[in-house]
Amino acid sequence: MPKRPAIELQDIKELLGRVILFELVSEDEVRIKVAGSQLRDHVNFEATGRNFADLTPPAQWPVRRWRLNEMAARPCGGVMINRETETHSGESVTFETMTLPVEPQGPGKPRLLISNVAVLGAIYEPPAEDRPQMVYMPDEFRFLDLGAGIPERMEP
């Protein structure tokens, strides 16, 4: 795992608009340290500084919390696929998110995850402004083995 100080923002500047940095403060507090501007424009709200649990439907939080904690503690990565057909033209857009662990700056510091969201398929169109301020579970999810193995199941 790369250590947080080893990540040079200059090296990933083209990705920053689609990057999310999560800080796992506790089991139910997953602070969004940074959410890129393209992501803000997509969801139509600012997520930076918010607890990811507050942006997830309550029934979906136990699975999402477990996955995030597995990725950070094992460590392993995750790939998520979301398909949306809410474009004005009716075309579907696929969002692929890859999440990887980042080693915290020192012992006792919160674990970190960094995600990058890629838009695949049709030309992206922003959603309706009255869209709920929620981040729903992906249509597909799988863990990535980075050398420490992956959980035997996808849900707790």
CA pair distance 156, 152, nearest whole angstrom = 10
Quick: pLDDT tens for 67-124: 999 999 999 999 999 887 656 666 778 889 999 999 887 788 999 999 998 888 666 5
What 8-state DSSP symbol labels residue 144?
Answer: E
Distances (CA, A) of 78 to 2, 55, 92, 144: 16, 19, 23, 5
- Cβ atoms of 68 and 60 closer than 8 Å: no
Give the domain ranges of the chain: 4-144
Q: Which CATH superfamily is domain 4-144 in?
A: PAS domain (3.30.450.20)
Indicate whether 56 pLDDT > 80: yes
CA pair distance 102, 5, nearest whole angstrom = 10
